Amino acid sequence: MRIAITMIFLVMSCRLAASDCVILLHGLARTSGSMEKLAKRLEDEKYLVANIDYPSTEYPVERLTEIAVEDGLHDCQQNRPDKIHFVTHSLGGILVRYYLKHNRVENLGRVVMLGPPNHGSEVVDKLKKFPGFSFINGPAGLQLGTGNETIPNSLGKADFEVGIIAGTRSINLILSTMITSENDGKVSLESAHLEGETDFKTLPTTHTFMMLDDQVIDNVLSFLKEGRFLEDKPADHARACNNAPIGC
């Protein structure tokens, strides 16, 4: 009897120890430090977190995917999680798409992409030949244009559960003039969309700082838990406009 009770306790303990793990992938020319606030909120919600730092300006997308995504999966799998989710910023979303096109994650949960250039960026089209662009942004940066032959446009539709948050504010008015439609300063709303997406939400935030925005983080948590973003409320929209640097 005592042995049976001990076995039940051990099984329950293992079950309680299991949790979902979230892999965080930062954007181009950024570091894992840009995702620390988001990591802390996820940890407060009892998620295991693998906040991956990868050399985004040193290699093309194909190599970065091997480094970043596989490192994240390795870190998560050490804890035998129930599900493995991804939350990405910008280039990080392209790495996940590339990985999932060529590989299968058995216990894949949900994916949230922040400001992903899913169809490339017009900024890359216009600046890629300028001196210094490739030095600053590296091989992967040159792969993020809008042409049909570019990496983002070669990956096809999503066959996984994905929510996308796109920003509608910009702190770089020069870059914004290079994009003819509504954008976050680097990526247009049209480019952020992805065929097969589960949910799509726009928020008055910028490409550079969206991962630090409380509204963005609240919506990330909502999608990871419920598979959908929070419903817009008039009061929330008014508050977001008041807090936006140049209003709504």
Sheet bearing 108-114, strands edge to edge: 48-52, 21-25, 84-89, 108-114, 162-167, 199-203
Q: How many domains does the chain have?
A: 1
pLDDT of residue 234: 62
Query: Is residue 49 within 8 Å of residue 41, measured between CB atoms?
Result: no
- Angstrom distance (rounded) from CA 113 to CA 219: 11
Query: Is residue 146 within 8 Å of residue 120, measured between CB atoms?
Result: yes
Query: Is residue 200 within 8 Å of residue 190, measured between CB atoms?
Result: no
Asked whether residue 101 is domain-assigned, the answer is yes
Considering the chain, what percentage of its residues have pLDDT values greater than 70? 86
Higher pLDDT, 3 or 148: 148
pLDDT at 116 over 80: yes
Asked whether residue 72 is domain-assigned, the answer is yes
pLDDT of residue 236: 54
- For the domain that residue 233 is a member of, what is the CATH number? 3.40.50.1820
DSSP letter string over 148-166?
A: TTSSGGGS----S-EEEEE
Return the bridge partners of 25, or none. 52, 88
Asked whether residue 12 is domain-assigned, the answer is no
Asked whether residue 7 is domain-assigned, the answer is no
Query: Closest Cα partner for 185 from 194, 176, 193?
Result: 176
Exposed/middle/buried for residue 242 (C-beta within 10 Å: 0-12, 13-18, 19+): exposed
Asked whether residue 10 is domain-assigned, the answer is no
Asked whether residue 14 is domain-assigned, the answer is no
pLDDT of residue 6: 40
pLDDT at 14 over 50: no
pLDDT at 248 over 80: no
Condensed to tens digits (0 to 9), the pLDDT of residues 143-171 reads 999 999 999 999 999 999 999 999 999 88
Please enumerate in sequence order all residues whose Cβ is within 8 A of that of 193, keeping only pairs 6 or more positions apart, or say none: 118, 119, 164, 166, 200
Condensed to tens digits (0 to 9), the pLDDT of residues 220-247 reads 999 999 999 999 876 555 555 554 544 4
- Angstrom distance (rounded) from CA 192 to CA 57: 21
pLDDT of residue 8: 40
- Angstrom distance (rounded) from CA 74 to CA 83: 13
Domain limits for position 217: 19-243
**Whole-Å CA distances, 205 to 28, 117, 123, 167:** 18, 16, 18, 5
Tokens of 78: 């050490």
Please enumerate in sequence order all residues whose Cβ is within 8 A of that of 87, keeping only pairs 6 or more positions apart, or say none: 22, 23, 24, 25, 35, 38, 42, 111, 112, 114, 220, 224
Asked whether residue 13 is domain-assigned, the answer is no
Asked whether residue 180 is domain-assigned, the answer is yes
Tokens of 31: 């570091």
- Angstrom distance (rounded) from CA 229 to CA 245: 24
Considering the chain, what percentage of its residues have pLDDT values greater than 90? 75
